[in-house]
Amino acid sequence: MESTIPGIPGIPGFTHDRVTVTDGIDLHVAVGGTGTPVVLLHGFPQTHLMWRHVAADLAADHTVICPDLRGYGASDKPADPDGTAYAKRAMAADVVALARELGHERFALAGHDRGALVAVRAGLDHPDAVTHLAALDVLPTLDMWDVLRGTTAAVGFHLYLMAQPPGLPEQLIGAAPDAFFGHFLDIWTRDPNALPADVRAAYLKASREAVPSIVADYRASAGIDVDHDRADLANGNRLRMPVTVLQQDWGAALGYDAAALWRAWAPDLRHETVGCGHFMAEEAPGEVAGALRKLLTR
């Protein structure tokens, strides 16, 4: 499962390239299929490879674009001296520019985990470019912080660790990156067979080589991303396109109404709970691909 870039696993049948999206930033991207475009954004601690099953399915009748996000995988990892390089606004702009460079002014967009936060920001900032939007197993940034309270917040300890000022989080995670990133690959997966050894190894390698940028991505979600979301709420900016959200039933576990939280951001919403683990595109790819196909008909 090698891509055309040596040493980087890829999606069979997809071509792989590096595309310049802004000055000094290139994204690694896998592209396959023909038809209306769908962009798929990966989550933490993964790369575009997490979409391998869903992408192959959708490529039967869509052009499927799977980038590594800025700061992840084989994409560029800029320094972040002022806390803005990994704002979801900047990462969303990367995605819109990538699609445009590949010849698509308008496209459907789906994101998982961190990629879902980038997708939501793209939908808010670029509503004329994003035709449909899917978010897998996250809450909007403001809501995420609001629901993590008391002892239940322990499930999100990594959010608080990586929200700390530069220095300590990078040092702690960098001292044992495979233990840190592997922890999430293990506890968030209900079906271990969904992450074969070679794929798991690829995720760990990519993550250990990107500790500063991954931390910067998370740190932005405790800072500048919150500011941007609050401004949208105050200004009445909402997701105008059809939105599908797939989530585990975290609301029941942590005591909140996930669909209601999402509906405040997405008036045209379909919210569904799933029975698999967090890495649903790998554990239940048929269910995810089916939900995306239904979204594209709305």
CA distance linking residue 171 with residue 67, whole number of Å? 28
Question: What tens digit of pLDDT does each residue of 155-202 get?
Answer: 899 999 999 999 999 999 999 999 999 999 999 999 999 999 999 999
What is the chain's mean pLDDT, rounded? Answer: 95
Whether 242 and 132 have beta carbons less than 8 Å apart is answered as yes
The question of whether 113 is a catalytic residue gets the answer yes
Question: Model confidence at 2, in pLDDT bands (50, 70, 90)?
Answer: very low
Question: Model confidence at 152, in pLDDT bands (50, 70, 90)?
Answer: confident
The question of whether 61 is a catalytic residue gets the answer no
Phi and psi (nearest 5°) for 230?
-60, -40
Q: Which of the following is catalytic: 113, 217, 225, 232? A: 113
CA distance linking residue 96 with residue 126, whole number of Å? 8
Predicted confidence (pLDDT) at residue 288 exceeds the cutoff of 80: yes
Q: pTM of this prediction?
A: 0.96
Q: Which of the following is catalytic: 28, 62, 112, 278? A: 278
Of 227, 291, 228, 232, the C-alpha closest to 264 is 232
Share of the chain above pLDDT 70, in %: 97
Token pair of 131 as six digits: 């035709």
